[in-house]
Amino acid sequence: MPPASAHSAATRHESELGFRIWRLRNVGFMASPHTHPDIEVNFLFTGGFSYLHGGAITPVAAGRFTVLWGGVPHQTIAPGIVDPGIWITLPLAWFLQWQLPHGLQDRLLRGEIVSARPEAADRPLLERWLEDANSRHPSRRRVLLLEMEARFHRLALATARPRHRLHAGPEGVGQIARVTRYIAEHYRDPLTVPAIAADAGLHPKYLMRVFKKQCGVSVWEYVTRLRVSHAQRLLITTDTKVVDVALESGFASVAPFYQAFQTYAGQQRPLAYRRKHRLPAPA
């Protein structure tokens, strides 16, 4: 994923659509690994670059619809991203609800970078997605989300079994990859830091220290962001009552849900968010 300067340029889309899509070029390389809870799409127009991803070096070529999960520690290595392209970050909760075939979900959560064969239709498709994201027309945004889900289904159908696996890396990289995968699979369940640490065979205090170092946020903030993301999708795409949205997203009650939602959803209350961002029903 590109450095914060490129990432911040796309922030304007997050509050509206629940995901980011933006153009980038000449963003260089990352000085250290980072993680984020999103599914990431990379599409370069020309050239290429390499990730240090889960301790293994993985090249990314131009013209390929390439997908990875940000929960695995990763960084771009020198010279970094020089050539132009389009990047997307998609909330993990949205991705999980698509129920994609052929184990694509599990492959990404286990640390594979999945790259499609070059297709001439991909660049104009992503260019159109960018236009739709900038559009003020709710119907175009709905089509964008449907097309994106369809493209992921085609990716799952077309790609082979995993080739990229996690390797040893800096302190905590392999352990954190396991922890973030466990959280991704269980964030809607009752969770505690000791339970998360126990699954990875770690002491809770060690987990909290290494997780903060590798991910830049606490374990509990990471869990909470995933739960809020899940709630945002339910609010936009269903008529589910707020209390049920809270419970289905992993919150024990409405009070912590409201507090977390306002913290991570632009100080908006859930019903106000729904009214502002609700997608129109198909005709």
pTM, 2 dp? 0.67
3 state DSSP class of 170:
coil
Main-chain dihedrals φ then ψ at residue 134, nearest 5 degrees = -80, -10
Rounded CA-CA distance 231/251 in Å is: 10
At 14, list the tokens: 């997050």
The mean pLDDT of 165-192, rounded to a whole number, is 73
The number of C-alpha atoms within 13 Å of 4 and in the hemisphere containing its C-beta is 5
Rounded to whole angstroms, the Cα distance separating 90 from 104 reads 15
Q: What kind of fold does domain 4-158 have according to CATH?
A: Jelly Rolls (2.60.120)
- 219: burial class by Cβ within 10 Å (0-12, 13-18, 19+)? buried
- Classified as helix, coil or strand, 262 is helix
The interaxial angle of helices 204-215 and 173-186, nearest 10 deg, is: 100
- When the candidates are 1.10.10.60, 3.40.920.10, 1.10.357.10, 3.20.20.70, the CATH number that belongs to 171-278 is 1.10.10.60
Percent residues over pLDDT 70 in the chain: 85
Start-end of H helices in 135-253: 138-158, 173-186, 193-200, 204-215, 219-237, 242-248
Phi, psi of 111, rounded to the nearest 5 degrees: 105, 10
Give the H/E segment covering residue 257: helix 254-264
Residue 280: pLDDT band (50, 70, 90) is low
Task: Find out whether 207 and 87 touch, Cβ atoms under 8 Å.
Answer: no
Record the tokens describing residue 7, joined without a space: 């990432």
**Per-residue pLDDT at 170:** 47
Residue with tokens 């959280």: 183
> 73 versus 11: which is more confidently predicted?
73
Domain boundaries, the chain: 4-158, 171-278
Residue among 248, 246, 98, 96 nearest 181 (CA): 96
- Across the chain, what does the average pLDDT equal? 83
Taking only the tens place, the pLDDT of each residue in 11-50 is 222 333 357 899 998 888 888 777 777 899 999 999 999 9
